[in-house]
Amino acid sequence: MDPALRESERTLPDPGNSTNTMSSSPDTFHGWVGHDSKSAQGNMRWEAFSPKPFAETDIDIKITHCGICGTDIHTLREGWGATHYPTCVGHEIVGHVVRRGSSPAAQRFQIGDRVGVGAQAASCLKDDCEECSSGMEQHCGKGFVGTYNGLYREHNYWSMGGYADYTRVSAHFAVKIPERVKSADAAPMMCGGITVYAPLKNNNAGPGKKVGIVGLGGLGHFGVLFAKALGCDKVVAISRRRNKAKDAEALGATDYIATSEDQKWEKKHSRTLDLIISTVSSPDMPLPGYLRLLRTNGTFIQVGAPEGDLPPIAAFALIAKGCKIGGSQIGSPKDIEEMLQFAATKGIKPWIQQRPMREANQGVVDFEEGKARYRYVLVNEEKEQSQL
């Protein structure tokens, strides 16, 4: 055991017989709940809600940490479409198992295990599902349920997320946190980290590759960290302004492009990158310029989701160099486990700021205003409960 780890980072002892649906979680959970689109302005309310009916495939987790993600704000304000209110957001969850079902998936955890849950809480997991049967559960078209604002059709229940004291999810979508990764660091990896790690690995980022990361925020800073750790020959941070250049260098970037300040940046850096991961969610991004940066047969992967359409591009921007445009959505539980082990091995530490759970409303506001450097993590310690 790493002596530097705090007690809350460690696996807790099993309090007794846990071979079945032993319950040490309450019947009612509490969390920060949004009731309308104004909740994105810091108007969530701490209140009780009922979790979905417990199934033998489920586990209950007592939450210690939950990252604030851009998806939380999009959902709270209905930026991507109708939100089912009331809703409790948060899908970068770390905590300890306090109840487990009798299924093999649930029994692989012990009571007290430190686990994480990302943006997905369930899928159909059927053998005839092409995605689930091949380890691509995040693309399941039959039964995908988001960790919040997702519908469990069999229960007619809308999922509630991690700005809370407890969460209940399918055990299949929980992963153990390696001992050497602190809970506060692991939390933003559960969505922000895997969102960029997966496309980097799936597009062979590593030695011999030159990679660009568009946007140096919560996702983008992970992109630079992972691309550097994967051994890419060149890691270029791409942002609108030059105010984050020193941060990019400290994270491991070898070059920096400021698209609103650098003159003729598209021409200067033309045909220099094999792969670009775009984390920005602005519908007015200079997409044609980004494509000019790609080398022949280069690939552009979009992971940020604008509240609107992507900019138009000319067909010859793709045809002339044989470029490809694609997208990527989070990652499977196996992908997340691999990422966490990689982070543990390489000693990857995200840039985070921890805030008490009671400050969730202000955290959402500050996040939306771009104040995070580069991820907020809500800490749900016992002493905070009496203040909520």
Fill in the DSSP letter of residue 155. T
- Measured in residues, the chain has a length of 388
What value does the mean pLDDT take over residues 250-267? 97
Helix axis angle, 194-202 to 218-229, nearest 10°: 40
Share of the chain above pLDDT 70, in %: 92
What value does the mean pLDDT take over residues 79-98? 97
Question: Residue 139 in contact with residue 329, Cβ under 8 Å?
Answer: yes
Spatial distance between the Cα atoms of 303 and 105, rounded to a whole number of angstroms: 29
Q: Name the pLDDT band for 170 (thresholds 50, 70, 90).
A: very high
Say if residue 15's pLDDT is above 50. no
What value does the mean pLDDT take over residues 150-162? 96
Total Cβ atoms within 10 A of residue 4: 8
Q: Per-residue pLDDT tens for 125-134?
A: 999 999 999 9
Q: Out of 24-33, 290-299, 305-314, 369-378, which region has the weakest mean confidence (pLDDT)?
A: 305-314
Spatial distance between the Cα atoms of 21 and 24, rounded to a whole number of angstroms: 10
Q: Out of 77-91, 212-226, 368-382, which region has the weakest mean confidence (pLDDT)?
A: 368-382
The residues near 191 (Cβ < 8 Å, ≥ 6 apart) are 67, 69, 71, 91, 92, 118, 119, 330
Domains, the chain, with CATH or none: 7-180+351-385 (3.90.180.10), 192-327 (3.40.50.720)
- Which stretches within the chain are classed as H helix? 70-76, 104-107, 183-188, 194-202, 218-229, 245-251, 265-268, 287-292, 316-319, 333-346, 360-368, 382-385
pLDDT at 136: 98
Q: Per-residue pLDDT tens for 193-209?
A: 999 999 999 999 999 99
Say if residue 375's pLDDT is above 90. yes
Say if residue 324's pLDDT is above 90. yes
pLDDT at 1: 37
pLDDT at 308: 84
Say if residue 7's pLDDT is above 60. no
Q: Name the pLDDT band for 70 (thresholds 50, 70, 90).
A: very high
Say if residue 88's pLDDT is above 70. yes
The chain-wide mean pLDDT, for the chain, equals: 93
- Nearest alpha-carbon partner for 185 in 382, 2, 15: 2
pLDDT at 384: 52
Say if residue 12's pLDDT is above 50. no
- Determine phi and psi for 346, rounding to 5 degrees: -90, -5
Say if residue 292's pLDDT is above 70. yes
Say if residue 18's pLDDT is above 90. no
pLDDT at 24: 80
Residues forming a β-bridge with 157 = 152
pLDDT at 388: 52
Spatial distance between the Cα atoms of 242 and 80, rounded to a whole number of angstroms: 30
The residues near 187 (Cβ < 8 Å, ≥ 6 apart) are 65, 66, 67, 92, 93, 94, 116, 377
Fill in the DSSP letter of residue 16. S
pLDDT at 281: 85
Residue 277 backbone class (left: φ over 0; alpha: ψ -120 to 50; beta: rest): beta
Burial class (CB in 10 A: 0-12, 13-18, 19+), 297: exposed
